[in-house]
Amino acid sequence: METSSSIVTRNLCRTFEVRRKSEGFLASLKGIFWPRSNFVRAVSGLDMEIQTGELVGFLGPNGAGKTTTLKMLSGLIFPTSGSISVLGFQPFQRDYEYLGRISLVMGQKQNLWWDLPPIETLAIHREIYNISQAEFRARLDELVEMLEIVDCLDIQARKLSLGQRMRCELAVALLHRPQILFLDEPTIGLDILMQKRVRAFLLNYHERFRPTILLTSHYMEDVIALVQRVIVINRGLKIYDGTLNELSKAARLEKILTVTFQSIPEGFSPLAFGKLIFQEGPRFQVKIPREKAAETASNLYSTGKVLDLTLEEAPIEEVLGELFAS
């Protein structure tokens, strides 16, 4: 397998100028002639290197600079300084050959034509990306099956549900078989089940076609299910780059266990296995180390008093919060 670098950035920076709005007539008049600006450093000095075929999670709190980085990598905006090379191209030159090899999925209205059914958008993309009719049919059949969107293809896009639309967006974005895929929060706004389906699809797709994927998400489930490697940024600075396993050592990965008893077993103390988040009668929520989760759950079940028990990943912000603190 090829292991060359697909994405390389060196000392990548992006600053945004934000005009300050002035209050009052005189001040705003002055603002017209002598505008005052603030400068926001969205990305500062980012170095990263991603190998061909890697699936990397790009994490960080709101405003960390993730979307800004993806916009620079895909070629939407110019970097303020530093260098980028993706597949050997400088993205902001937007060479058509480059654009034909990448895809960016950002938000829910990226590619679908709002007033037309998705099949029309797909047909337009077939021509724009110069895909042969036979190839188009084969790829379409494959994507439709993997994404389960047979029923959505002929419905006007504006009438599709969020989950249907997201899956159609993915089909459109993947039709030209991009070698590089930038996914900005692909699961945002979807219900748990739909998130699972999208996740399963992405995993399956990556397995089959091995594109290089850089994905942002605020859901720990996405990260754990999908990525091997994570890059964490905060305020435009890279603070972690490594495997998920190492991350879980650096920042304790935890699970949240919620248990409701018929009657609380004798001698039960939530503090024995984790940090209590809240208690409400026979209902407890506890944060426990990931590796102990399965064992704890089975122990609780064995008391025979459990009415309901759920295990969830701790929110990503909490996990990463420890990293930011250190």
Ligand X SMILES: Nc1ncnc2c1ncn2[C@@H]1O[C@H](COP(=O)(O)OP(=O)(O)OP(=O)(O)O)[C@@H](O)[C@H]1O
Residues that bind another protein (CB under 8 A): 16, 67, 71, 74-78, 93-100, 102, 104, 106-107, 109-111, 113, 115-116, 120, 123-124, 126-130, 184
Least CB distance to ligand X at residue 32 (A): 20
Which residues within the stretch 66-85 sit at the binding site for ligand X (CB under 6 A)? 66-68
109 binds, among ligand X, Mg ion, another protein, none (CB under 5 to 8 A by kind): another protein
Selected binder of ligand X within 27, 30, 37, 63 (CB under 6 A)? 63
Is 320 in contact with 232 (CB distance < 8 Å)?
yes
238 binds ligand X (CB under 6 A): no
| Residue type present at position 287 | K
269 binds, among another protein, ligand X, Mg ion, none (CB under 5 to 8 A by kind): none
Q: Give me the numbers of helices (H) and strands (E) for the chain, helices first please.
A: 11, 13
CA proximity to 153, closest of 134, 175, 132: 175
Q: Tokens at residue 49, please?
A: 């290197």
248-to-55, 207, 244 alpha-carbon distances in Å? 18, 24, 6
Selected binder of Mg ion within 6, 9, 67, 285 (CB under 5 A)? 67
| Residue type present at position 106 | M
Number of residues that bind ligand X (CB under 6 A): 12
Contacts of residue 54, defined as CB under 8 A and 6 or more positions apart, other chains included, come to 6, 212, 213, 228, 229
Q: What is the dihedral of CA 72, 107, 233, 241, to 10 degrees?
A: -90
9 binds, among ligand X, Mg ion, another protein, none (CB under 5 to 8 A by kind): none
Distance of alpha carbon 246 from alpha carbon 321, whole angstroms: 16
Least CB distance to another protein at residue 14 (A): 9
Least CB distance to Mg ion at residue 67 (A): 3
Hey, is 304 helix, strand or coil? coil
Nearer to another protein, 157 or 226 (CB): 157
Burial grade of 97 (CB within 10 A; 0-12, 13-18, 19 or more): exposed
Selected binder of ligand X within 65, 79, 178, 211 (CB under 6 A)? 65
Could you list the residues that contact ligand X (CB under 6 A)? 16, 18, 40, 42, 60, 62-68
